[in-house]
Structure 1
Amino acid sequence: MIGMNSIDIYMTLEERISSAFRMDEETWLRHANPWSVWTRLTALPLLVAAFWSREWLGWWAIIPVTLAVLWTYLNPRIFKRPESTDSWASRSVLGERVWLNRDRIPVPEHHRRVPVILNLIAATGTVPIVWGVYRLEVWPLLPGFAMVYLGKLWYLDRMVWLYQDMKENPEYRDWLY
């Protein structure tokens, strides 16, 4: 990775995440369903509860962990395409797609740094969450959840703004219906 700056590494990470979830065109359309967006917010608490269950279930905790991971993977796939993408939640997903495509179609300057910062805030929130789950202590979970959800929801709001600014691009124009 010689010659790559931190944003190049970050973009590669985003692309890897999208690839790991096998987000094809149909999956993105289904994920634009507001039900998918809002229920996706349950993934982190379910994962935390699943890993915490090791205290009561021992090695059997692998079952709730597997189910939580499966939910995280299936969530963008189980909902139908939305009847309209003209909702905040749908446009946040459309903006995420624009953001992931920013190497091919550059985004305006005022959208280039804030999403990176917000994702770093959300990622930083995972540290106290992992610590709390490891130590089986609730107190680190609360600030961790606050950081993750503040960063993620603010990021999604920025993605709505990004899509609004980019929606006239011929590649993105038909996404809003």
Structure 2
Amino acid sequence: MDNNNLETIVFGGGCFWCVESCFNMLKGVKSAISGYSGGHKDNPTYQEVCTGETGHAEVVEITYDPAIISYEQLMDVFFFLHDPTQLNRQGNDIGTQYRSVIYYKDDAEKQRAELALRTSEESGRWTGKYVTEFAPFEKFWAAEQYHQGYYNENPTQPYCSAVVGPKIQKFKKHFGELGMLNAD
């Protein structure tokens, strides 16, 4: 991986434990870090974000090598991992902190994200109108350390067993067949 040419993208697709776990398995992804974006409070805590009063979404900051994995491939994974037709929720996780959102750094990246959304909509993967929000990137706040790699450290925790684990298995099957996963 060429550390001089790494790029980042920040988006939210429900619980960050699910999203972060999967993206860290992809070839070309250097890191996927759970955190918060889009709100009005500096250094928010998980407890504050869970109230829905900070305006933040649970997000993941992906650092990747575009020579190995493209922006478009990352967007395909993003739209695979969550249901972008659910407003302010994913399954039983309800609240604005679980919204589907893509934070873009400039107009060119916004256009790429909008094209990825249209491509996903046209694929028919999800039925219904997409409600994914597009917002200018302002700040990413890393979540507390215990959230980083949470599933790997807690696979038998009830939420992980019931929600994260099955999502990871579906992800591995689909993207493993496409050869996009790391061998380890």
Provide TM-score, normalisation by structure 1: 0.26
Higher radius of gyration, 1 or 2: 1
Greater fraction strand: 2
Of the two structures, which has the highest relative contact order with CA contacts closer than 8 Å and spacing of 6 or more?
A: 2
Greater fraction helix: 1
